[in-house]
Structure 1
């Protein structure tokens, strides 16, 4: 299958539960635990523990129906607004938020976060904390000038984007354009955290391959600086698994702040 036939996340959508099962479950045959769970959780925990990233409003604009990356910031913000581009992902997330039967179990991620804090007995409390501060789940349209039209979002103290830009950007100009949109949503001095896969060209959900935009660490750094961000922290972890579901070479975690 050549790349021109790959599906596009924000156009075609995917089965959000399959995505979670493939890349983020605690099943014995799920090989992405280190890259997709442990590395992001540890990097986020350390970034927020430093105490510089905190405030009132955090906006999450991430792929699928992810939750585990919100555990760390839930201790430092009063409100989380989650943006989603597909209704199916909204439904999957709300199933977990409302503790409905059949919701995806994020207990393993909460436990992992707790173990990193030597506090593994409070994993349920961590999940409830996230639920308590996710104030809104908002449908958004990435290509629109105001992505949440007609809703106008409040200025954010922080934005987290996990795998999203990898999936919706066509090229380097597109990536920079979304960084510009993120900047417009942030308060002066606000923080932006990006997590993604380096040199990725596709990922698989179910039987379908999806487009991914390939980039390297140097490009992300230059793109952020070019859009008025100051980089505070950058970590890159080489791929630790063997799987043909996705072809990234490494995982990048990068935290920056908008110049005042």
Structure 2
């Protein structure tokens, strides 16, 4: 729809074509599609298992018991994958595997949105909103001619295309805006869509470190990379959270764990 709208706009004014936003939109889209959202490493073990060593590892029953114990929220076990699950990891029934910090399975990108591609998904929403909004604004003067008293220029096919393109872009822009606002609120509280549903029964969220740190856990600390679907090598090295396996908790929760 966006590409058709841009092709149509070239007939009116090339200055209205936001090529930079289109390039970023496509870059972010393909990054979400082809980037693995994050899977549990084959040899990953919870901290308690590492303390016991290879001779006496935790079995599935013990991990299940730990998972059911509220005092041991770090130890989780997936019965479908028959393997331990890192914190904030969930099993995707569509992909048939556990996804690190899973947010949801998105049919639009034919992929899960998880720890390793969540930033790319958010940027895809941002640039999609900007693109559709710019197209809508560009078409607004032509759309207003439908309600004027003068003669409307153009063939019937062109007029129908203008009207339909404006309405579709406006509706799509508003729907993406609502979705974007939802995810901005999730980032601000360091929560995924799944966790937002789960934490309704808790009074305080263990991973809420403040808006600044919550933002950095998704977008990184290097400001130069905030608006592109990539991370700096320094951020990848300094921030284990970007790998989807380790997540710092608030001091109150850290004190309860030990």
TM range (shorter): under 0.3
Greater fraction of residues in helix: 2
The structure with more radius of gyration: 2
**TM-score under structure 2 length normalisation:** 0.24
**TM-score under structure 1 length normalisation:** 0.24
Greater fraction of residues in strand: 1
